[in-house]
Structure 1
């Protein structure tokens, strides 16, 4: 409902809201509820700029973004030792393949890029499904890197 009103300054409008259309204000939150924890994550904008600039090039060189920017797992020292000592492993990791899968693939297939790529692709897919590293590696090697056969192997619980 709109009612015209007169005031000393001139005319105005008064609006009345029917009770059935009124909403209640939100409850008052106490100020002593405690501080919310804040993240201390610091995004590296300079690294992001370098990566984007490299991606713009016709022939990007991703190897310069190698180990100094890659996070290391302190719990898995055997893989990092193998990576540091084995130039074949380092070569495949520099190509962007999984740090977790490459040492296993190189151990099984040596310096065969086709077999290593097949193994790493299947390994990553099956690990994302939640299977353990050892089970995935065994299933892929047993089934000549055929991901579907390895998955069937894992789902059937065959050892």
Structure 2
């Protein structure tokens, strides 16, 4: 016989869900992946053209009152949370409203810019290496030799 203190009560009965399970209607677009694959098969990948980095500002944006209010509410949200006004618009343009990716991009961008690398190069490297600051830094160090 099992002592009462060692007995386990049976688990509660779960109610079965009835009816249709809601499905997502989100449509994924893989055009960028197709372009990258096609470029990779050619042997030389033009990351600037693929990731539309040619339209990046050549110098950091100034955070002066003359720049006016930021229209995008997502950008405003991240700036209000304390992230850099200079780079948040680019991070949001690439990652949308993904707090983890935006934070990683802004942190890595700030760190690499403080090391003296150019704005466009930093943005391109972070996008290429999926916000991995160590890989982006290794890229800069290997390409300068």
TM-score computed with the length of structure 2 as normaliser: 0.52
Match of 2:92 among 106, 120, 125: 106
What are structure 1's unaligned runs of at least 5 residues? Answer: 1-70, 75-79
Match of 1:72 among 61, 64, 67: 64
| Structure 1 counterpart of 2:3 | none
Match of 1:148 among 120, 134, 140: 134
Deviation at 1:100, TM superposition (A): 1.1
Q: Looking at both structures, which has the greater relative contact order when contacts are Cα pairs under 8 Å and sequence separation is at least 6?
A: 2
Q: Distance in 1 between matches of 2:99 and 2:136?
A: 20
Higher helix proportion (structure 1 or 2): 2
Higher strand proportion (structure 1 or 2): 1
Match of 1:131 among 117, 127, 136: 117
Deviation at 1:87, TM superposition (A): 0.7
Larger Rg: 1
The CA RMSD over aligned residues, in Å, is 2.2
